[in-house]
Structure 1
Amino acid sequence: MKSKAQPSLLLHKPYGVLSQFTPEVGSRWDCLASLVPIKGVYAAGRLDADSEGLLLLTSDGALQHQLTNPRFGHWRQYRAQVEGAPTEADLEPLRRGIQLKDGPSRPARAQLLDPSVAAGIAERNPPIRHRLSVPTRWLELELTEGRNRQVRRMTAAIGFPTLRLIRWSLDLMDGQPPLNLDGMEPGQWRWVSAAEEKRLKQLGR
């Protein structure tokens, strides 16, 4: 087991898993304990059970606060497969900030995902359900806030419901590359490197 000097780890959370270590009574979803056999770490930011992607797990409460409080403005990048064929112009309301039921969203970075990148995204298990007569497209969205099901509500508000959602990266806003899913398969986790841990400790101070 890893020593206490390096408590944080990265997980590629798969579909169908809650962002917590205890199961919910009566829930059909699994929990993190089925994937990560490490005690005393918790998710710094949540993903819905039907979403996938990067989770940072840590025992550092100050770091959790730093990464989850929207006033610190850490960009999170998502890749969203939506129903329909949006254009760049369709995404403009997301860039300006769009009105949601719980108030306007902050301006997001939004663009169509390069088709060559989208082609490299592995199929989900289980596969998404969609109408074969309706095309789908992948978007790349970056947000600094994380309200309940926010990305899904934002794409629905412009007429393109999200079918699949993956959090790809987390920007620590320190001038270095974001933490991301490169090289990680769904369900796989790894300890952060010594260099990554140093960056995280500086944030948690």
Structure 2
Amino acid sequence: MSTLYLLHKPYRMLSQFTDRQGRATLADVIDAPGVYAAGRLDYDSEGLLLLSDDGSLIHRIAHPRHKQPKTYWVQLEGQISDEAINALRNGLVLKDGPTQPAKARRIAPPAINPREPAIDPKRHPSTSWLELTITEGRNRQVRRMTAHVGFPTLRLVRAAIGPWQLGDLQPGEWRKETLHAPRPARNINRTTTPRRRRS
């Protein structure tokens, strides 16, 4: 039996518990001794982050060999074209090599809180939203992919990792799941406890 924490990492927070520069860290929103993040989100990205004190579970979730799909909601500069979406679906050639084909589709603005600080509508008068699912985990991959097809990322929210969903967690909130079987992460039976916010 293992415990998994599902956290909505806020914008401009590090995916770690300490920082010598005084930036916001996970310690500001969750008090769960001995846990580590399964993967990470960039400082300027938001959304679902999984944490556990079970090293084997973290490995099963985060290791590229297991190819857990990760789904992102991406707010883009401009109105993304069909050609750009098809290019994402077919795979791109970035500086560090070709990407795997992604799942990509236009979506309406998702039901999430505005970012703080908000994106300036005067600087970015036209934006669109994309749902993008990838199975790789390269450095800043989503941002590089959308820039490559001509639509830079303005806001990046991770909505899902494998079977785990961000759901209605608000920034800084988390919920705990108890996993009942040591099978591959995507097949584990689980029990959910209510979400919390560190006070």
**Where does residue 198 of structure 1 map in the other structure?**
180
Does 1:140 find its partner at 2:148?
no
Which letter maps to 2:21? G
Match of 1:180 among 141, 160, 165: 165
Counterpart for residue 7 of structure 1: 3
Which of the pair is proportionally richer in helix?
1
Q: Alignment identity in percent?
A: 47
**In structure 1, how many angstroms separate the alpha carbons of the residues matched to 2:13 and 2:152?**
21
Aligned to 2:14: 18
RMSD: 1.9
- In 1, Cα distance between equivalents of 2:110 and 2:4: 31
Among candidates 149, 153, 158, match of residue 140 of structure 2:
149
Unpaired stretches in structure 1, ≥5 consecutive residues: 172-177
Q: Aligned to 1:155, what secondary structure does the other structure show? A: helix
Distance 2:152 2:121 in 1: 11
Mapped to 2, the partners of 1:191 and 1:155 lie a distance apart of 33
Q: Tell me the distance in 1 between the aligned counterparts of 2:153 and 2:99.
A: 17
User: Matched residues in 2 for 1:184 and 1:102: separation?
Assistant: 34
Taking structure 1 as the reference length, the TM-score comes to 0.84
Aligned equivalents of 2:124, 2:156: Cα separation in 1: 21
Q: 1:133 to 1:140 in 2, by over 3 A?
A: closer
Write out the 4+ residue segments of structure 1 that deviate beyond 4 Å after TM superposition: 130-133
- TM-score, scaled to structure 2: 0.86
Matches within 5 A, 1:71-110: 71-110=65-104
Give a deviation string over 1:111-170, Cα, whole Å, max 9, x none.
111x2xx15232111112454564100100001111111100000000000000000011
Aligned residues: 186
Counterpart of 2:192 in structure 1 is none
